[in-house]
Amino acid sequence: MTESVGKKVLVAMSGGVDSSVTAALLQERGYEVIGVTMQLYEPRHAPVGGKTCCSLTDVMDAGRVAKRLGIPFEVLDLRDKFKEMVIDDFVREYAAGRTPNPCARCNERIKFGALLEMASSFGADLLATGHYARIEKDAAGAYQLLKGLDQRKDQSYFLFAMNADQLSRTILPIGSMEKHEVRQLAERYNLPTAQKQESQEICFIPDNDYVRFLEENGVHPEPGEIVTSTGKKVGVHNGVHQFTVGQRRGLGIAWAEPLYVLAIDRDNAVVTVGPRHELTCGGLVAGNTTWTGTAPESFHGTCSIRYRQKPVPCEAALEADGKLRVKFETPQGGVTPGQAVVLYDGDRVVGGGWIEAGTP
């Protein structure tokens, strides 16, 4: 504890139980804790009693926890940055026929980007969050990102873009805990969020109506065709933004067997569908890669292509143009352009990139 006494840490408080316990734990460990809640968007269409995130209720809950702990608390207006870096990106990606991951983008650009840069203005060198992931030093003194101990809650997938400097300035206190332990601590600390339910939908689309949100934000419906992989027309659609690779429901096609979205051609407004076995890919190509250390020339380990997917064995290599080419040991379904592929060496995050296409 002596190393932490007097050290200032900025704690990102979402109003949920995880970040509340994070603040309480660090205070108990001797840190000088400053709580901040980010105002990221103007909530609309939020269902009554829904599982919210970043709503006015969440801001108030974070403030109540800060008051309970007796720590300074501020609300930071980051709505402009969030719109520019996350929402606008989300809209552009869907309009282009890709399926974005706004949670990963928010962590990369807002929490461990803009917010971490603001820590010094509070006199703090460190930032803490309630993510279920771990940061540890290896034998050489380099900071490494590891999976959370609770495999059911592990959020390392969302944090893959963190670099060495960001890792060195970040604390993730609950990453070595199980969720039930966090709840027990919240009860022990008598925190008002101890029994609060978790948010599950994208924070800025709490009613989960993606299509409405996209069209309200400038995506115009453009009719097109739905075809099979052989080119046979089987239906029509009113915009590629209504689809994502791997989607089965809502296609509006009567067929002898279930059909899935295989590919989306934005330029020609064509959605290709087919049976489940046509959805599998032997590998993928990803761009905009980031690495926690030196980028490996070749890699043998495991990877995840979506959140909460159990990592699968793979090998990967960086091409001369900087693209990451991944080959699965066993073909995988649902390789989705716009999502992230994250490489793991055991529990350690090696790096990752943004999926551009599946490969045979």
Q: Which helix (H) or strand (E) holds 314?
A: strand 312-318
Tokens of 217: 């934000």
**pLDDT tens-digit map of 239-256:** 999 999 999 998 989 898
Domains and CATH numbers, the chain: 8-188 (3.40.50.620), 221-274 (2.30.30.280), 279-359 (2.40.30.10)
Give residue 54's pLDDT band: very low, low, confident or very high (50, 70, 90). Answer: low
Tokens of 64: 């109540």
SS3 at position 113? helix
For the chain, the straight-line distance linking the first and the last C-alpha, in angstroms and rounded, comes to 53
| Residues 274, 183: Cα–Cα separation, whole Å | 44
| Residues 240, 271: Cα–Cα separation, whole Å | 7
pLDDT at residue 48 above 50?
no
| Residues 236, 224: Cα–Cα separation, whole Å | 6
- Of the candidates 256, 228, 223, 255, the one whose C-alpha atom is nearest the C-alpha of residue 238 is 223
Question: Would you give the DSSP letter of residue 149?
Answer: S
Q: How many CA atoms lie less than 13 Å away from 197 in the CB half-sphere?
A: 7
| Residues 15, 2: Cα–Cα separation, whole Å | 29
User: Which positions are catalytic?
Assistant: 106, 203
**pLDDT tens-digit map of 110-156:** 999 999 999 999 999 999 999 999 999 999 999 999 999 999 999 99
